[in-house]
Structure 1
C-alpha cells in the first residue's frame, strides 16, 4: 500500500467500534508533514479516548469548565514531534516533546494548544491543568496502562473543584478507566496494522 494510502487509511478508515475523526486542522497538518501512518493511527486512538474522558467529565461534573477543544487538540497532536524524531516512534525518548511544541508553533498554533506536545509526559510540572492531565491519561489508558500517580492527580483536581469526596471520585474514575481499558486490544490492533515509518 503506498504511503499516502496508508496515511489516509490511518486517518479515515472505518473501525469497529468506530473511532471519532481527528480535528480537520490536525488531519491537514499530518498530511502536510507526511506523517508516519502508525503515528496517525496512534493519535486517532488517543484522541478517541480523550473524547470519552471529556464527555464523562462533562456529564459527571457539569460545573467544571474543561476546555474540550484544547483537550481534543492536545490528544490529537501530543506526539507530533515524532515526525521529527522518528527513532522515538518505536523507542524511548523525550526529544519529540519540545520538537512537537516548536513544530505546532511554527504551523501557527498558539502556545495554549502547542503546550500539550510537552505536557503529556510531565504531569507533575508546575502549572499543569486538568486539561493537561486528561491528555496524559488518554495517552496511557488507550492501551490499558494505569498510572496511579497520574490518576491520583486527576481525582484530586475533580474532588477539589467539586468539594466531593476523594473516594467517590476514585471509584467513579476507576470505573471509567477500567471500561475504557477493556477496548485496548482493538485499539492496539488498529495502531499495529499500519506501517511505522514513512
Structure 2
C-alpha cells in the first residue's frame, strides 16, 4: 500500500491529464518507499512517452518498436534514485546502474530493466530506437529539445519510411514542439511533490 502522498502523486488528475503508470510499477514504487516527487516525475515522462509512441505508431507504421518496453522504460528510468535520493534534486549518474540492478533484482527482464541505465546514454552506437524514444521523452517532458538526440531518432524514422531525413524530421519536430508546449504543467506537477515522503505537498 503506497503512502498517501505517493498515492496522490500516482493518481491525482492534471490538466492536461497524465496517464497512470503501467502495472506493476506503482506497486514497485510503494514497495521501495519511493519519494512522491520521483513518482510524479516518472508519471510525467511516461505520459510523454505514451504520446510519442502513439504518434510513431500512427505515422511511421513500418517502424517496428517494442512499445511495452518504451512505456515501462519511461515509467522506471529513474527508479535508481530510490537508492540515490540526492540525485532527485541534483546532478549525478549513480542512479543509472543502480536502477538497472534494482529492476533485475525484482525479477524484471533485461529488455525492460536496461532503460534505467541507457536513458542518459543515447550517444552509445548500440542505442536502439526504443532507447532513443525513452531518452527523448525524458527531455521533452520538461520542454527541453536536444538536436543531436532528435537527429538520431529521425534517422530511424527516415530509414523505416524510406524518406529523406528532413521529411521525417518535420513532423517529428511538430510533435515534439506540441509536447514541449505543455511542459509547464508537468513541471509544476512534479515540483509540488516532496523529495522527503513525510513533507507536505506544496
- Cross-structure match for 1:47: 46
Gap runs ≥5 in structure 1: none
| 1:1-198 equivalences in 2 (<5 Å) | 4-198=3-197
Q: Give the C-alpha shift of residue 54 in structure 1.
A: 0.2
CA distance in 2, matches of 1:194, 1:59: 34
The RMSD of aligned alpha carbons is 0.9
- Can you list the C-alpha shifts for 1:99-152, whole angstroms capped at 9, x where unaligned? 000000000001100000011000011321000000000000001101111000
CA distance in 2, matches of 1:72, 1:180: 16
CA distance in 2, matches of 1:184, 1:164: 30
Q: In structure 2, the residue corresponding to 1:20 is in which secondary structure? A: coil
Q: In structure 2, the residue corresponding to 1:24 is in which secondary structure? A: coil
Q: In structure 2, the residue corresponding to 1:178 is in which secondary structure? A: helix
Q: In structure 2, the residue corresponding to 1:169 is in which secondary structure? A: helix
Q: Number of aligned pairs?
A: 196
Contact 2:60 2:160 in 1 (8 A): no
CA distance in 2, matches of 1:157, 1:64: 8
CA distance in 2, matches of 1:49, 1:93: 23
Q: Give the C-alpha shift of residue 160 in structure 1.
A: 1.4
Large movers: runs of 4+ above 3 Å: none
Gap runs ≥5 in structure 2: 198-202
CA distance in 1, matches of 2:196, 2:157: 39
Q: What TM-score do the two structures reach when normalised by structure 2? A: 0.95
- Can you list the C-alpha shifts for 1:46-80, whole angstroms capped at 9, x where unaligned? 00000011000001011211111000000000000
CA distance in 2, matches of 1:110, 1:54: 21
CA distance in 2, matches of 1:148, 1:18: 27
